[in-house]
A and B are shown apart, each in its own frame.
Chain A
Amino acid sequence: MEVKLFGMIAEKAGAETIAVAAATVRELRLAAEARIDGLAAMSYAIAVDRRIADDALKLDGNEEVALLPPFAGG
Chain B
Amino acid sequence: MSTDKPHKKRDIFIYGPIDPAFVAESIAKHASRTDIGGHEIFLGQVRADELAAAQGSATSALTTGNQQLATVQAIDYTAYRDMANEQMMPIREEAFARWPITCLHVYHSQGVIKAGELCFFVFASAAHRQAAREAVAYVTDEVKRRLPIFGKEIVADGSHQWKNNS
Q: What is the CA–CA distance of A39 and B94 in the complex, to the nearest angstrom?
A: 34
B residues within 8 Å of A by Cβ? 44, 56, 75, 77-80, 82-84, 86-87, 108, 119-120, 140, 143-152, 162-166
Residues of chain A from 5 to 30 with CB closer than 8 A to chain B in the complex: 6-8, 11
A residues within 8 Å of B by Cβ? 4, 6-8, 11, 43, 47, 50-51, 66, 68-74
Contact between B80 and A66, CB atoms less than 8 A apart: yes
Pick the 8 closest A-B CB pairs, nearest first: A7-B150, A73-B149, A72-B151, A72-B163, A50-B83, A74-B144, A70-B164, A8-B162
Contact between A70 and B166, CB atoms less than 8 A apart: yes
Most-contacted residue by chain A among B86, B108, B148 (CB, 10 A): B148
B-side contacts of A74, CB under 8 Å = 44, 108, 119-120, 140, 143-144, 149, 165
